Amino acid sequence: MSDGVAAAGRRIAAGVGLDMRTSVALAITIVLWASSFAGIRAGLLAYSPEHVAVLRLLVASLVLGGFALATHMRRPDRRDLPGLVVAGVLGFTLYNLLLNRGEQTVTAGAAALLVNTGSVFTALLGRVVLGERPRRRGWIGIGIGFCGATMIAASHDGGIGISRGAVLVILAALAQSVFFIRQKPLLATYRPIECTTFMIWAGTAFLLPFAGGLPHAVSTAPASATLAVVFLGVGPAAIAFVTWAYALSRMPAIRASSFLYLVPAVSIAIAWVWLSEVPRPLALVGGAVALSGVILVNARERT
């Protein structure tokens, strides 16, 4: 079965014009980001939204800091510091604070959908700021992908309502979209791991004012909650943002962000395997619709 899945993955990658390294980078990003929403919910059982954000990025900063020391990573150019800091604040400080607050009242599945409305924001900003111009088929694919993600979210109990938590998650999606757009030009100067490291360090620095009481929270939290946040720092933060930056450096932002419509579908699959949560038929159909939208955006697309 694994050989069949791998073959199917290769056919999809070829159909959307991706090389194997970019395909693998996107796959790692999607799987790790799909798992992050459940991880946040697990962390929030014992930590405040602010402490989840601080601890997550402290872990990511330490992981990337160790790599930077081991490889003698170059320092960023002083001229690029403002751009790196702004991107770090948007993509890590604001994004994590808003998303964690939102997930206090929004389910992991619904948050996965709402965050990925950022693909629409990225498409609009990519056109205005980066001059990326997908064909009409690309816009149709973006719409189809959004519809598929909506079907997945609607399959959850209670669906999605417009609540304060939902608004906060949508604002997190907007912050992430602006982060993607600001990140794209910097990847022309810095390697993906350099760019990610500098931005995570900047985002962590601006979260430190929220670190008050964190040592006490760590000492009293159950190990399961702490391990969930550590996983968020190592996997969805340190690793997935590097693989995302690699993919983004090799393709237009609009195309790259369209793949994020697969995150809710993968979240369903992870819950199915890991938690034995059998998905509803509507979720399976939504996953297929989201995949078709991604393929439509990317197939023979020239932006």
Is residue 293 predicted with pLDDT exceeding 80? no
Report pLDDT digits (tens) over 170-206: 889 889 888 988 898 999 999 999 999 999 999 999 9
Helices 20-43 and 49-71: angle between axes, nearest 10 degrees: 140
| pLDDT greater at residue 52 or residue 133 | 52
Position 255 scores a pLDDT of: 77
Query: Which DSSP letter does residue 239 get?
Result: I
Query: Are 49 and 168 a contacting pair, CB within 8 Å?
Result: no
Cα–Cα distance measured from residue 84 to residue 297, given in angstroms and rounded to the nearest whole number: 29
What are the pLDDT digits (tens) for 56-111? 999 999 999 999 999 999 999 999 999 999 999 999 999 999 999 988 877 766 67
Q: How many residues does the chain have?
A: 303
Q: DSSP state, 77? A: P
Report whether 260 contacts 52 (CB < 8 A). Answer: no
| pLDDT at residue 102 in the model | 87
Closest CA to 298 of 24, 23, 25, 18: 18
Place 119 in a pLDDT band, splitting at 50, 70 and 90. low
pLDDT on residue 130: 56
Residue identified by tokens 């608004």 is 167
What pTM value is reported for the model? 0.79
Tell me phi and psi for residue 144, to 5 degrees.
-65, -45
Question: 132 with 303: CB under 8 angstroms?
Answer: yes
Average pLDDT of the residues in 141-164? 60
Domain boundaries, the chain: 19-298
Percentage helix, strand, coil for the chain under 3-state DSSP, each rounded to 5? 80, 0, 20
Least confident of 48-52, 132-136, 213-217: 132-136
